[in-house]
Structures are given as structure tokens and as C-alpha cells.
Amino acid sequence: MAKRFMPTIVRNPEPSEGPRVDLRSPGFRILVVEDETLIRDILVRKLKGLGYECDSCENGLAALNLLPASAYDLILTDLMMPELGGLSLLRETQKFCPDTAVILVTSVSDLNIAIDALTHGAYDYILKPFSLQEVSVVVARALEKRRLLLENRRYQQHLEEEVASRTKQFREALELLQQTYHSTLLALGTALDSRDADSDGHALRVTLYTLRLARQVGASEADLKTIEQGALLHDIGKIGVPDDLLRKPEKLSESEWQLMRLHPEIGYRILSRISFLQDAAKMVLNHQEKYDGTGYPAGLRGNEVVLSARIFAVADTLDCMTTDRPFQRAVTFELAREEIIRVAGTQLDPAIVGKFLEIPLDEWKTIAQEVKAKAKAHRQVS
């Protein structure tokens, strides 16, 4: 087949304009695809002379056979060839070797095809007749462009990996922080219990009861966190109540009761200064209020009492009735449930009591047993 154009050997020794490019770039692998033997040999000799590793073949089909085994940095291919032309080779290369740069060698009559190929991923084109100097510049420029693209991609990947790694570290740190907060609150709740002679395990038990009931009411995960904090720390204000009053075996006098009734407000003042406990602080402030307005400190009624505190009130009633107290022996869960039904609408929110009744008594008993077992294990360790 007669060749359409012949190369002009070093027609233009020094390019008059364009970016300064290092024409000697040893180490890169180039594949020359050209059906005209003479042109192919001239190109290969020139590129090898510039320090490139260079293979060659006579058409696109032969090139496809070479691609899987050889990682070429660049393919310099004629556009019109028998078997498989340059455009098809470009498409296949992009599919299987997307990091290989492709330069098309074309005649003026195929120029529009070559320009169109640029929009489909070709790095550049060389118009016949060409000078070998021109080929050197275009090849070096394409390899530099490819290097920058790969570097940029590596940088992006590195950046993404870095962001993913930092995000993971941040999540882990946050999780650790939350676990630490949780352990601290649990320890504080247990410490508060130990001051109160008659409330062994009360803070943990009433917290688990409250959480179970809150789930039944449909509380969100965020609300459950607040509810857990508030329940664990509901009596933190008792820090402000003297020990002898807290542990007094006899009934409290009216003045002593007045002192005792300050504990929700003291608790609120302590917790409201801690940003992540501000919602829990409102629950603590309301935890001794009653549905009919007969509670303290503010005598709030109905929905004026925050929902978390109304849920807590049912759980607290259950726990107080089913554990031994100085002036009251523990009753069965069955009897406690009867009493809760009786005070629905007066001391307790009837809607919350309705939710409480949906939960089988065995679940409450299981929670109580688990807390008892935990407390026993804890005593054995300490």
C-alpha cells in the first residue's frame, strides 16, 4: 500500500515557539503503530536516539496484542491503517490502559477526525508531513502532560486517603470521648448511690428502666442519650444535702424536707453549666414534679413537665416500690404495676403509663436481676 506522506527529516531543527520541553526523557516506554515500514523505522530510530524504550507494530490490531504484556507510557499511532485504525486503537487503549497517552499521526484530510479525537482522550496529534524534531517535542510534551495528570491523580488519591484516615481517627477519638463521658457519668451515678444508704443500684436500675420506657414511647437516639444522662444523674443535687439528713433513719422534719426539696434545683445548677448536659439538666430539674402539679420544686403540671422527666417518674415509681426502703418493704412487680395504674393521671402521665403497660413485666424483672448481678460482681471485685 502506497504511503500518503513521507516524513521530512529534521525539517525544523529548533521549534520557534511553544513550551520548553526536555526532549531527552529516558526510561519511558513508547509504542509506534504505523503501517508504512520506512516511516515506522525512522520514528523508532529517532525515539530510541532520544533515550526512550521503543517497540513498534504495523497496525492497531497488532498493537492490541502488545498492550496487555507491556505497560506503555505512550502510543504514537497512525490514524488510517488496515485491520484496525488509530481511532479504534485509542478507544481500546482508554478502556484497557487508561494511563497510556495516545498521539495520533494524521494527514490534513483527516484533521477534523484527529481534532475530534482530542475531545475523546487523545493527548495530541501530529500532522503529516512532520519533522522528527516536531515529533520529539510533541512526544515529550505529551509525556509531561501525562506525568502531571498522574501526579495530580496520585495527589488526589493521597488526599482522599488522608481525609478518610483523619475522619476515622476523629470518629474513633469522638467515640472514645463519648465512652469516657459515659463511664464518668456511670461512675458518678454509682457514687451518688453509695451516699444514699437505701438506694443500692438505684441510679443504674432506674436509668435502664427509663431507657426501656423511653424506647417504647418512641424517643430518638439523641433523646435517649439525654435521658440516660438525666436518669443517671437525677439525684446529683443531693451533693448539697448533708449526709446525716440523707442517711437519717427516722422521718424528716418539715425543715429537713425543705432542705431535701432543694436537690432538683441544685442538680440543675450543677449540670446546666456543662454544655453537653444542658438538656439532661432540665430533666433533673423536673424529676420530682408530678403530673397533677403536686410535685416540686415548681409544682408544674401535665406537659409543663419535660417528657423525659414524665418517663423517668414512671420508672422511678416502679423502682422505689420494688426495692426495700427505710419506711417501706419492697412489693412485687405485679403490685407495683397496680399502683402505677392507680396513680396514672394524678402523680404520673397516663399516656406514659399506657406505654409502660405495653411492656411485659418480665422485662422489668430481667433488668432488675441484671443490675443485681452486676452489683454483686462489682462488690466481689472491690
We find the least distance from the C-beta atom of residue 260 to Fe ion, in angstroms, to be 9
**Interface stretch with Fe ion, choices 11-19, 48-56, 190-198, 228-236 (CB under 5 A):** 228-236
Instruction: Tell me if 207 sits within 8 A of 189, measured CB to CB.
Output: yes
Q: Does 319 interact with Fe ion (rule: CB under 5 A)?
A: no
CA end-to-end span of the chain = 96
Q: Which is nearer to Fe ion, 85 or 230 (CB)?
A: 230
Nearest residue to 74 via CA among 41, 97, 91, 49: 97
Q: Which is nearer to Fe ion, 152 or 294 (CB)?
A: 294
Q: Which is nearer to Fe ion, 235 or 319 (CB)?
A: 235
We find the least distance from the C-beta atom of residue 295 to Fe ion, in angstroms, to be 10
We find the least distance from the C-beta atom of residue 319 to Fe ion, in angstroms, to be 12
Q: Which residues contact 108 (CB under 8 A, 6 or more apart)?
A: 127, 128
Q: Which is nearer to Fe ion, 193 or 235 (CB)?
A: 235
354 three-class SS: helix
Amino acid identity at 254: E
Element (H, E) at 104: strand 101-106
We find the least distance from the C-beta atom of residue 320 to Fe ion, in angstroms, to be 10
- Distance of alpha carbon 346 from alpha carbon 331, whole angstroms: 21
We find the least distance from the C-beta atom of residue 235 to Fe ion, in angstroms, to be 4
- Distance of alpha carbon 335 from alpha carbon 341, whole angstroms: 10
Q: Which is nearer to Fe ion, 43 or 206 (CB)?
A: 206
Q: Does 200 interact with Fe ion (rule: CB under 5 A)?
A: no
Pairing of strands 53-57, 101-106: unpaired
Q: Which is nearer to Fe ion, 134 or 235 (CB)?
A: 235
Residue 313 burial (10 A CB sphere; 0-12, 13-18, 19+): buried
**Interface stretch with Fe ion, choices 18-26, 148-156, 231-239, 317-325 (CB under 5 A):** 231-239
**Interface stretch with Fe ion, choices 161-169, 197-205, 235-243, 265-273 (CB under 5 A):** 235-243
The residue sitting closest to Fe ion, measured at its beta carbon, is 235
Q: Which is nearer to Fe ion, 73 or 235 (CB)?
A: 235
Q: Which is nearer to Fe ion, 97 or 320 (CB)?
A: 320
User: 203: phi > 0 → left, psi -120 to 50 → alpha, else beta; which?
Assistant: alpha
User: Per DSSP, what are the bridge partners of residue 33?
Assistant: 57, 77
We find the least distance from the C-beta atom of residue 211 to Fe ion, in angstroms, to be 18
We find the least distance from the C-beta atom of residue 279 to Fe ion, in angstroms, to be 18
Count the Cβ atoms, other than its own, within 10 Å of residue 248: 15
Q: Does 235 interact with Fe ion (rule: CB under 5 A)?
A: yes
- Distance of alpha carbon 201 from alpha carbon 232, whole angstroms: 11
Say how many residues touch Fe ion, by CB under 5 A. 1
**Interface stretch with Fe ion, choices 43-51, 129-137, 234-242, 273-281 (CB under 5 A):** 234-242
We find the least distance from the C-beta atom of residue 347 to Fe ion, in angstroms, to be 14
C-alpha cell at 256: 429537713
Q: Rg of the Cα trace of the chain?
A: 41
Instruction: Tell me if 69 sits within 8 A of 43, measured CB to CB.
Output: no
Interface residue list for Fe ion (CB under 5 A): 235
